[in-house]
Structure 1
Amino acid sequence: MAGLGAGPATTDAPPRTPRPSRPLRFAALGDSLTEGVGDRVDGAWRGWAALLAQGLGEPARPAEFRNLAVSGALTRDVHEDQTPEALAYAPDIASVVVGVNDTLRHTFDIHDLAFRLDKVCGALSEQGTRILTACLPDPGTMLALPVPLARPLARRQRAVNAVVHALSARYGAVHLHIADATWVEDRTMWSADRLHPGERGHRMIARRFHELLAAEGLVLGTAPGAEPEQPAPSRAAKALWLATAGTAWVARRCTDLLPQLVGLAGAEVRHWARGTSARLDHVAENALSSALASLSLDAPLARMGE
């Protein structure tokens, strides 16, 4: 399980004991990562959340699971659309893993993202739900973009991760680190699109969450297996995906982001030439500090390097 470290222990919220009158309920909120993109079984996406759900309850009393995640979802969508459904479902455990799509939008606003994530986590926690969170790798690194294009996206994702760290501490979330280089560089974990885990990667995420939950006595079943059960996609299948669905995915993102990203890349090059690249980092750190201060949270600037 190298490359996936657990976050620091938090004690702000006590673990919730599953209700004895019914099976444990698990709701998954988020985007394509949680929807299961990259882990196709019988013509549909499965993913880490579904794999984790299989190991939460006992064989005679399996956990109930509802996957509310939608491919392409932004933090706004999780806040406005998925959270009301989750609250009505009244889960014992809920995962909230979102933010990468926000970094790929020209409308990226760390203040708005922090505000909405706080509302989501606060509403679930107030209802008694134990929250699962994760910090994620930046898409520029995943897609191996040139440095001037990758650095602005990395700066955004580091800010998102810092918000997630702070809110995880506030609400006593079970937090998983999946942003480190070892995980990113292991290509056996990833699907053909280079942005979503393959079956092996989804299984790794599920196993690591299961391990963290088991350490707190919140699971009754066994962890999913580590080895894939589906055959790996062939080179021809990967090439077909990249030529069809992959190209369409990039085109949709570029229509929204590319004009601004080109401008951000130009700023990176200019500051690099002047030796003032640190100014861009300071601007991002100040925006993060302001966003967290508005929520009465301390800005964990040390986390900006993750």
Structure 2
Amino acid sequence: MQTNPTYSSLVAVGDSFTEGMSDLLPDGSYRGWADLLAARMAARAPGFRYANLAVRGKLIGQIVDEQVPVAAAMRADVVTLVGGLNDALRPKCDMGRVRDLLTEAVERLAPSCERLVLMRSPGRQGPVLERFRPRMEQLFACVDELAARHGALVVDLYGAPSLADPRLWDVDRLHLTPEGHRRVAEAVWQTLGHAAEDPEWHTPVPATPPPGWGARRIADVRFARHHLLPWIGRRLTGRSSGDGRAPKRPELLPYEGPLL
């Protein structure tokens, strides 16, 4: 692969992970790893253009129907695709259908761009996700197979010890903190062939004393009340956190923002 390449455009496709939750900005919007990556790429390429089509809560079928055709038509230099994990985390999931839809997405996007980037999503330590790990690993095996077949790049976030650390996850236990998003942006940056700005992004963060029993129980109660129960309610009623929500950057336009 070319070292320190210059790309003129980026389109990000996916769900809440790519939208940027929970990297919250002062105005209430979300930034996230894709915005951080776009800022770095824009610093290298005058006139750099960026679109982020990702919307929280989207399943892989919705990504294929709503985002993939739009992204393919943009003919960007780089397209990132992360999807399928929302499906895998549902109580009932047809992983065969997920694989078929992810395959369709890759087959449509790969010919439309110079570089397609796929990811093995990060996995937080803890008992809640343990029951879903077999499905996650099936999904990531599919990602690896598709990348090999279509010449796509794979960013292995699942295998990074730092991103398994609960301290890099927000209180909802589903989305990364700003530091987590920064590390993901660094991982994608390096995978694209750029010189490392943080060679140790994947290494564990320094150890700190674990919270006491009381603090853990308070955190568990807050998590259940503010995040787990609403999530279950949406699942039972067939609703999504992204219903009616438009992408934050629906058009491939010149990047306007801080060159972080």
Q: What TM-score comes out, normalization by structure 1 length?
A: 0.62
Deviation at 1:188, TM superposition (A): 3.0
Deviation at 1:62, TM superposition (A): 4.9
Deviation at 1:124, TM superposition (A): 1.4
Deviation at 1:256, TM superposition (A): 7.2
Which AA in structure 1 matches 2:110? S
Query: 4+ residue runs of structure 1 moved beyond 4 angstroms?
Result: 238-241
1:144 aligns with 2:127: yes
Aligned residue for 1:57, secondary structure, equals: helix
Q: Which residue of the partner structure matches residue 93 of structure 2?
A: 108
Describe the shift of the 1:253–1:150 C-alpha distance in structure 2 as closer, same or farther (beyond 3 A). Answer: farther
Kept after mapping to 2: 8 A contact 1:137/1:157 = no
The superposition leaves residues 130-160 of structure 1 with CA deviations (integer Å, 9 ceiling, x where unpaired) of: 111111245xx54532xxx833x11111100
Deviation at 1:211, TM superposition (A): 1.1
Higher relative contact order, structure no. (Cα contacts within 8 Å, ≥ 6 residues apart): 2
Deviation at 1:207, TM superposition (A): 0.6
Deviation at 1:246, TM superposition (A): 1.3
Q: Which residue of the partner structure matches residue 35 of structure 1?
A: 19
Q: Pick the aligned partner of 1:158 from 121, 127, 137.
A: 137
Kept after mapping to 2: 8 A contact 1:35/1:71 = yes
Q: Which residue of the partner structure matches residue 83 of structure 1?
A: 68
Write the distance in 1 (CA, Å) between the matches of 2:46 and 2:197.
16
Write the distance in 2 (CA, Å) between the matches of 1:85 and 1:241.
39
Write the distance in 2 (CA, Å) between the matches of 1:214 and 1:47.
21
Write the distance in 2 (CA, Å) between the matches of 1:208 and 1:60.
20
Q: Which residue of the partner structure matches residue 208 of structure 1?
A: 187
Listed as ranges, the gaps of 5+ residues in structure 2 are 202-214, 239-260
Describe the shift of the 1:184–1:223 C-alpha distance in structure 2 as closer, same or farther (beyond 3 A). Answer: closer
Kept after mapping to 1: 8 A contact 2:14/2:63 = yes
Write the distance in 1 (CA, Å) between the matches of 2:92 and 2:166.
31
Kept after mapping to 2: 8 A contact 1:54/1:62 = no
Alignment of 1:127-276 (within 5 A): 127-138=112-123, 142-145=125-128, 150-151=130-131, 153-180=132-159, 182-215=161-194, 242=223, 245-252=226-233, 255=236
Q: Which residue of the partner structure matches residue 25 of structure 1?
A: 9
Query: Which structure shows the higher helix fraction?
Result: 1
Kept after mapping to 1: 8 A contact 2:125/2:166 = no
Report the RMSD for the aligned CA atoms in angstroms. Answer: 3.3
Aligned residue for 2:173, secondary structure, equals: coil
Deviation at 1:245, TM superposition (A): 4.3
Which AA in structure 1 matches 2:223? L
Bigger Rg over Cα: 1
Kept after mapping to 2: 8 A contact 1:136/1:178 = yes
Kept after mapping to 1: 8 A contact 2:75/2:112 = yes
Aligned residue for 2:192, secondary structure, equals: helix
Kept after mapping to 1: 8 A contact 2:79/2:113 = no
Write the distance in 2 (CA, Å) between the matches of 1:103 and 1:49.
22
Question: How many aligned residue pairs are there?
Answer: 220
Describe the shift of the 1:54–1:176 C-alpha distance in structure 2 as closer, same or farther (beyond 3 A). Answer: same
The superposition leaves residues 193-249 of structure 1 with CA deviations (integer Å, 9 ceiling, x where unpaired) of: 12211000000000111012135x9xxxx959x99xxxxxxx9xx899736641454
Describe the shift of the 1:245–1:45 C-alpha distance in structure 2 as closer, same or farther (beyond 3 A). Answer: farther
Write the distance in 1 (CA, Å) between the matches of 2:47 and 2:169.
29
Write the distance in 1 (CA, Å) between the matches of 2:151 and 2:45.
30
Q: Pick the aligned partner of 1:54 from 33, 39, 43.
A: 39
Q: Which residue of the partner structure matches residue 294 of structure 1?
A: none
Deviation at 1:77, TM superposition (A): 1.1
Write the distance in 1 (CA, Å) between the matches of 2:13 and 2:130.
27
Write the distance in 1 (CA, Å) between the matches of 2:93 and 2:172.
23
Q: What TM-score comes out, normalization by structure 2 length?
A: 0.72
Percent identical = 29
Aligned residue for 1:61, secondary structure, equals: coil
